[in-house]
Structure 1
Amino acid sequence: MNSKIFGFLVILLIISIIPTIDAQISFGEKASQKSVEIVINSVGDVHVKHVISKTDLPKQVELIYGTVSNLSVTNEKGEEKQFSVIGDNAGILIFPSDNNSIVEYDLDHAISKKDNVWTWSFRYLETTSFILPEEADLIFANERPIYLDEKKGITCHGCQMILEYSINEPKIYQNIKWEDKEFLVEIRSHSNIDGFVFDQPTKSITFDVSEKNRFVTTIIPLELLWGPYAVFLDDEKIYFNQYINNGTHVWLNIRPETTGEVTIIGTTVVPEFPIIAPLAMGFLIIVITPLIRKVNLR
């Protein structure tokens, strides 16, 4: 009798410890997730919240990769629920429930800071919403700029991206006077910007960047310099993003790999600016605005 009891206890013990041994073991079907939300604060702390649909069977929830802490599972009333950890916090098994389940945890050291830029190499195939710090109004997803303005964040579908952003990025303003008009050009960057020149005859703006691999965003009044644009670093043409055009200003973004002189060349310049141009931009606003609200990155 004692040997039978001992054997049963050994089997029970093995079953209880398997989830912490092999992260590849699956104990249930994949859970249906109603939402996944990531909140990032101004010092890089990350909090994750999954809302899991009610289920009649045990379901498996994959956690976002990283160092998981403060893991909890509750129902919609905030009451704690039992769960089982799979692997080294790679996922959890939640048990049948008549209500939605709320899975929450922190991800320690998920985001790193270098040269004043916070960076996260992120991958999670469920639709995920990112709530960014209030101070970060301009972010980059795979180096594609997204201006948040008054929006709190982005939604990423089937997401695999390098997320980058700065807190309180320095802004440099250049006031340009032409005849009886004044134009304000804004440059946002953690690189030093020197030697700013607007040259009307060559339809160009030039300035020097003293640090490499830094994002540089130039906000240009359309009435001053109209596109299409070309951007050069010294004498070499470089890639740039033109991602916002609100009918009065255009945002151009570059990330020079070396230091040097940046030249932005347009095709129409003050006082050649066509009167009908703002009407044309009204159409573009309708087309591109939805892309800013939801980002589809793979």
Structure 2
Amino acid sequence: MNTKIFGILGILITISLIPLAYAQISIGEIAEQKSIEVTINSDGEVHVKHVVSSSNFPVDLKLIDGTVSNISVTNEQGIDELFSMNEDNVVLLQPSKEKLIIEYDLENVLTEIDKVWTWDFRYLQTTTFFIPQEIDLIHVNDRPVFLDDKKGISCHGCQMILEYSVGEPKKIEYVNWKNIEFVIEIRTFAETENFDFNKSNKEISFKINDANRFVTTIIPIELSSETYDVFLNNEKIFFHEYINNGTHVWINMKPDTTGEISIIGTTVISEPSNTVECGWWEWFLAFFGIGKC
């Protein structure tokens, strides 16, 4: 009887001490994670970093789904720690008085279709994503997220479809209104043509020759409305939320067919003016013929 008990303990200890083994069993509790960082580079390569709290007992850490390679486990001093991993990407970490840092590369998670990188991501822990530096606009569950000068996003209890493009073409169009030149930018991999701005009803229009491509139109606030309707071939379509960053409005859509896009403001905008408004004092002097306004 004692021989059997010692034999089982010997097997468990052997499994826990293998530096990198594909064990089928685990004896750890769930690891307490301090942070999870996912870094994506311009080539679609993914690197993951978990920071796990210290523990007096062995703990299990479930890695993010995908093909794991180049995994390492170190303490805060950068010293390698022993661990084991099973076929389900669960890592058994040994007791440690310090935080443990688990890093690895993750493959077969990002796919590139029509120049759009896509990741169907699910990991029910708060995860921070660092996006390639040259990207300032991503899509999360089809909603645009304008990064501006931010490095990335945090996703809480994370389940999302992440989409982004590298090197998305930017087409610049110029609108002259009351002798003031405005710049409108159209960002898309779709081919566009026949741009026009109708001054009478504040309508921006252009033709798209490719379907199911993200199209982002960036309009100066001075030339824009507060609310919009978007039409495709004269039929109103859903457009993804527009973003106001203080200087421009971003209107994003993904038309499911080709044709003419029309963006029409639904609130009145005033024409730009080069005149200076008079204060009450100037009006008072003008009333008595002393000044002008």
Fold-level similarity (TM above 0.5): yes
Q: Give 1:247 shift.
A: 3.4
Aligned to 1:63: 63
Aligned to 1:54: 54
Q: Give 1:151 shift.
A: 1.0
- In 1, distance between residues paired with 2:52 and 2:159? 22
- In 1, distance between residues paired with 2:121 and 2:139? 13
2:117 paired with 1:115: no
Counterpart code for 1:180: N
Counterpart code for 2:178: E
Aligned to 2:199: 200
**1:3-152 → structure 2 map (5 Å cutoff):** 12-13=10-11, 20=22, 22=24, 27-86=27-86, 88-152=87-151
Q: C-alpha offsets along residues 131-174 of structure 1, whole Å, 9 cap, x if unaligned?
A: 11112111111111111111111111000001111112110010
2:235 paired with 1:236: yes
- In 2, distance between residues paired with 1:229 and 1:6? 75
TM-score (norm 1): 0.83
Q: Quick one: structure 1 residues 37 and 247, their matched pair in 2 at CA, closer, same or farther if it must change by over 3 Å?
A: closer
- Asked whether the 8 Å contact 2:117–2:163 carries over to 1, the reply is yes
Counterpart code for 2:242: Y
Aligned to 2:171: 172
Q: C-alpha offsets along residues 212-264 of structure 1, whole Å, 9 cap, x if unaligned?
A: 11110001122223131000111221111233213332110001111111110
SS in 2 for 1:223: helix
Which has the greater radius of gyration? 2
- Asked whether the 8 Å contact 1:48–1:104 carries over to 2, the reply is yes
- In 2, distance between residues paired with 1:99 and 1:168? 42
Q: Give 1:268 shift.
A: 4.2
Aligned to 1:296: none
Report which structure shows greater RCO (CA 8 Å, sep ≥6). Answer: 1
- In 2, distance between residues paired with 1:162 and 1:70? 26
Which moves more between the two structures, 8-17 or 95-104?
A: 8-17
Q: Give 1:273 shift.
A: 6.7
Q: Give 1:64 shift.
A: 0.2
Q: Quick one: structure 1 residues 78 and 14, their matched pair in 2 at CA, closer, same or farther if it must change by over 3 Å?
A: closer
- In 1, distance between residues paired with 2:119 and 2:181? 40
Note the aligned Cα RMSD (angstroms): 2.5
SS in 1 for 2:222: coil
- In 1, distance between residues paired with 2:101 and 2:269? 57
Counterpart code for 1:62: K
Q: Quick one: structure 1 residues 247 and 20, their matched pair in 2 at CA, closer, same or farther if it must change by over 3 Å?
A: closer
- In 2, distance between residues paired with 1:10 and 1:59? 19
- In 1, distance between residues paired with 2:187 and 2:111? 21
Percent sequence identity is 52
- Asked whether the 8 Å contact 1:68–1:89 carries over to 2, the reply is no
Q: C-alpha offsets along residues 263-295 of structure 1, whole Å, 9 cap, x if unaligned?
A: 101034664479xxxxxxxxxxxxxxxxxxxxx
- In 2, distance between residues paired with 1:101 and 1:267? 55
TM-score (norm 2): 0.84
Q: C-alpha offsets along residues 44-79 of structure 1, whole Å, 9 cap, x if unaligned?
A: 110000000001111111100000111111101111
SS in 2 for 1:226: coil
- In 2, distance between residues paired with 1:132 and 1:228? 30
Aligned to 1:292: none
- In 2, distance between residues paired with 1:37 and 1:136? 18
Which runs of 5 or more structure 1 residues have no equivalent in the other structure? 275-298
- Asked whether the 8 Å contact 2:197–2:203 carries over to 1, the reply is yes
- In 2, distance between residues paired with 1:271 and 1:54? 61
Aligned to 1:287: none
- Asked whether the 8 Å contact 1:225–1:268 carries over to 2, the reply is no
Point out 4+ residue stretches in structure 1 off by more than 6 angstroms.
4-8
